[in-house]
Structure 1
Amino acid sequence: MIKAKYLTKVIDINKLYLEQIINEGDIVVDATMGNGYDTTYLAKKVGKNGFVYSFDVQEQAIQSTSKKLEKEGLSSRVKLILDGHENMDKYIDKEISCVVFNLGYLPRAKHMITTKPNTTIKAIENSLKLLKPHGVISLAIYTGHEGGLEEKNHVYNFVKNLNQSEFNVLECKFINQINNPPELILIEKKKEY
C-alpha cells in the first residue's frame, strides 16, 4: 500500500486514490506511457491475473517502459502499444477499472511532442465507454509547457459538463504553489452509460 508522507506531488496523491480503486485481476490502461513508471505501478497493482494496456506515440517511451517491465518481471501483464491514446477502443474490447493519464510531454525527451486537446478529449470519451461501473479515470494535467493551458481548458470544459447522474468528477490541486503545479481530475463512472 502506498503511503504519502507529504502532500507535495499530485502523482503521489493520485496513487492514494488508485490504491482504493484498482484490485488484483483488474484490466487497466496507462493512456500516456511516458517513461513507464505508471505502467510498472499498474502492472504490480493488478497482479498476475490482471492486465495493463499502455499507450504512447513515441518509440522512446516503448523502449524505456519495456526495459523497466523486463527488469521487474512484469512484461507478461502488459501490452505496450505504439499508438495514440485516442485509439484505445481499437485495442480494448473489455471493461476496464481504471485509466491513467499524465498529460503533457515525455520527461527527458522532445518537449514539442505533447498531448493535444482534441486527441485527449477523444481518449477520455473512449475511456468513459470502456469503464466499468465505479471505475475511474485519473487525469494529471501539466500546464507549464506550450499548449498545456489550452489542453487543460478543453479537459475542464468537457468534464464539468458530464452528467452528474452518470459520473462523479473530482478536482484536486495545489493552490499555493508557483510555476504551474499539475492538477488532478478523477472521474468515477456511477453506472452503465
Structure 2
Amino acid sequence: MSGYFHNAVAYSHKILHSVISPGDFVIDATCGNGQDTVFLAQLTGRQGKVMAFDIQAEAIEKTRQLLLKHQCLEQVILIEDSHANLGAYKPEKIKAAMFNLGYLPGGDHNIITSSNDTIAALKTIMDNLVLGGVVTIVGYPGYDAGQQELNEISKYLSGLTQKNFEIINIKAINQRNNPPQILVCSRINGGI
C-alpha cells in the first residue's frame, strides 16, 4: 500500500517529527520492538532523554539491541514496567509521548495494553506535558479488545478541557477491516 497515510505509526512519526527537538524529554509508553524508541532517541539527540516502557523483558531487550545498533542507547532510560506506573518515575516537562497500543509484534497476542493502564499513563503525561507538547496514540480497532480500548481512551480524552488541549482522531474512512486510528493530543494552554 502506498500513499501519504498508508501507515498509522509512520504518520504518527511525521506528527512527532515536527514537534520534538534535540534536548527534549519524551516518552515511549510502549517500546515493543524498539522502532519508535530509536526514532525518538534520534530526534532528542544525546542532549535529550527518552523514557521507554514495556511490561515484557523480551521487548526491553529487543529495544536495547536496536538502540545499540543505532548508537543511541545513551539517551534512553529503558523501564520494564507498565506505563500505568509512569508517575512513579517522576517525569517532568514532557515534550512528547507516543503509544502504539495492542500487542508486541511477533509476540504473545494475549499480552495486550489495557485502557485502564493507558489512561493512568495519560493522566501523568497530561499533567506534565509542556505547552506545545504532543501525544500520539495509535490504536487498533480491528479486534474486540482493541476497539474497546480505543473507545475508553477516546472517552477519557474527550473529557479534557478544550481550553488546555486540542485532541483529534485521524482515521481512514474508506479502508476495510477497521484500520488503525491515531489520537493526537496537543497542549495549547497551561502546562509546566
TM range (shorter): over 0.9
The Cα offsets for residues 46-101 of structure 1, whole Å up to 9 and x where unpaired, read as 01100100000000100100000011111111010000001111113321100100
Equivalent residues in 2 for 1:59-74, closer than 5 Å: 59-74=57-72
Aligned to 2:118: 120
Aligned to 1:96: 94
TM-score if structure 2 supplies the norm length?
A: 0.95
Letter in 1 for 2:45: G
Instruction: State yes or no: 1:50 paired with 2:60.
Output: no
Equivalent residues in 2 for 1:153-164, closer than 5 Å: 153-164=151-162
Aligned to 1:134: 132
Partners in 2 of 1:93 and 1:157 — Cα distance? 24
How far is 1:144 from its partner?
Answer: 2.3
Three-state SS of the structure 1 residue aligned to 2:51 is strand
Kept after mapping to 2: 8 A contact 1:43/1:74? yes
Letter in 2 for 1:13: Y
How far is 1:20 from its partner?
Answer: 1.0
Partners in 2 of 1:75 and 1:12 — Cα distance? 22
Aligned to 1:152: 150
Partners in 2 of 1:190 and 1:142 — Cα distance? 27
Which ranges of structure 2 fall in alignment gaps of 5 or more residues? Answer: none
Instruction: State yes or no: 1:173 paired with 2:171.
Output: yes
How far is 1:146 from its partner?
Answer: 4.2
How far is 1:5 from its partner?
Answer: 5.6
How far is 1:130 from its partner?
Answer: 1.5
Kept after mapping to 2: 8 A contact 1:104/1:145? no
Q: Percent identity?
A: 36
Aligned to 1:111: 109
Question: Aligned-pair RMSD on alpha carbons?
Answer: 1.3
Partners in 1 of 2:38 and 2:13 — Cα distance? 13
Partners in 2 of 1:175 and 1:12 — Cα distance? 18
The correspondence for 1:33, drawn from 31, 34, 40, is 31
Residues 57/166 of structure 1: CA separation in 2 closer, same or farther (3 Å cut): same
Letter in 1 for 2:50: V
The correspondence for 1:87, drawn from 85, 88, 98, is 85
Letter in 1 for 2:160: L
Partners in 2 of 1:170 and 1:157 — Cα distance? 12
Partners in 1 of 2:147 and 2:48 — Cα distance? 35
TM-score if structure 1 supplies the norm length?
A: 0.94
Q: Which runs of 4+ in 1 moved over 6 A?
A: none
Partners in 1 of 2:44 and 2:3 — Cα distance? 24
Partners in 2 of 1:98 and 1:187 — Cα distance? 10
Three-state SS of the structure 2 residue aligned to 1:147 is helix
Q: How many residues align?
A: 190
Partners in 1 of 2:64 and 2:10 — Cα distance? 23
Aligned to 2:6: 8
Partners in 2 of 1:168 and 1:57 — Cα distance? 29
